[in-house]
Amino acid sequence: MQHIKSFNAFLQDTVNLSQAKLDLLADRVEAIYNALKDDREIGPLVLGKKPQGSWAQRTIINPVGDSEFDADFMLHLSEVVEWADNPKTYIDKVYAALHRHSVYGDMPHTRKCRCVQLSYANSMHVDIVPYLHLRDGREVIVNRDDNKWEQTNPSGFTAWMQEKDGIANNNLRKVIRLMKYLRNHRKSFTGTRSIILTTLLGQRVHETRAVTHPGCYGNVPTTLLTIIEDLDAWLQDRPHKPSIPDPSGSGVTFDHRWDQTTYSYFRARIHTHARQIREAYDEPDYDRSVRLWRDLFGDAFPDLPRDSASITPTAQKFPTPLLITTTSRTGRAG
């Protein structure tokens, strides 16, 4: 059975980051941004800001227990010609601005490979990612470890996500949150980065599939079933780690984000989850179906009163769509 109302309640009450926390995040990012704009050294270079990652894609979820949640924002900076051969200077300058600030200087802050991280006690940390439009036309972030630029296209990735979510009747983002919940809270396929998971799930959504198999993205559990079975079929055809191109069209890949061991574990876990989802979805007995969904998501999955929308009309399998391949240049992103 589908248990549509239970899925909606599970997302709202357990999986999704609360609106209060999202509002707090937005307020804190605005305060950080204003502090950097007011800084005597980095301030004149600040051109703007925008959310990045799960915050931008609206796939951010509640952290496990009392753990911090994290969010990224891109700090758009103007190019300094004198720093062209030393890109890590941008991260160092942002760090220095926080370090001398009257408030943020007393808070934990550190330099990471691609960002400066600022931590709030027992609540969240914010990653500030320097982002530039270079004069040669490239959009880049900084790899501080290697002291070089990394090409990126955040607007393109967001547009791709919006397109795919639209095809899936606004259910793709919900499926991504559910799968992140399995990874983080249920300790499944640990080690697979969010950018990899988001890209692989989004790549399984196809407009032709929605046309030829009406209803395959009709609600959250059906979309979950469709995408995960399609992903499982795709993965089972690939025992060796495939290349994952950035769907924004930047021409780089996310291949550096995992290795063969992590990929093999992810592939095996998705194979198991595809079977579990199918069994729970097809199970005609209401109580047993709830137990099967709870075997997957845990006891937090609610058992709401029965309703006709919970019933799976037919235990149909949606045939796997034709695989669409994308070529890319060798590179790194994410």
Closest CA to 94 of 146, 134, 26, 37: 37
Task: Specify the DSSP class assigned to residue 67.
Answer: P
pLDDT of residue 320: 53
pLDDT of residue 264: 98
Within the chain, which residues score under 70 in pLDDT?
A: 307-309, 313-334
Q: How far is CA 163 from the centre of its chain?
A: 15
17-152 CATH, one of 2.60.40.350, 3.30.1490.100, 3.40.228.10, 3.30.460.90: 3.30.460.90
CB 2, CB 310: distance < 8 Å: yes
Where b means 16+ CB within 10 Å and e means fewer, 203-233 reads: bbbbeebbeebeebbbbbbbbbbbbbbbbbb
pLDDT of residue 315: 46
Q: What contacts 134, CB < 8 A, 6 or more positions away?
A: 79, 140, 149
pLDDT of residue 304: 87
d(Cα 331, Cα 160) in Å, to the nearest integer?
19
Strand partners, 128: 73, 116
d(Cα 114, Cα 127) in Å, to the nearest integer?
9
Cβ-based neighbour number of residue 91 at 10 Å:
23
d(Cα 23, Cα 74) in Å, to the nearest integer?
18
Closest CA to 257 of 266, 269, 270, 248: 266
Q: Which amino acid is at 165?
A: D
Domain assignments of the chain as residue spans, ordered by start: 4-14+156-310, 17-152
What DSSP line would sit under 73-120, residue for residue? Answer: EEEEE---GGGTT-THHHHHHHHHHHHTSTTGGGS-EEE-SS-EEEEE
pLDDT digits (tens, 9 = 90+) for 277-310: 999 999 999 999 999 999 999 999 999 877 666 7
Taking the domain 4-14+156-310, which CATH number applies? 1.10.1410
- With a threshold of 0.95, does the pTM exceed it? no
CB 232, CB 270: distance < 8 Å: yes
d(Cα 157, Cα 169) in Å, to the nearest integer?
18
CB 279, CB 292: distance < 8 Å: yes
CB 71, CB 127: distance < 8 Å: yes
pLDDT of residue 107: 97
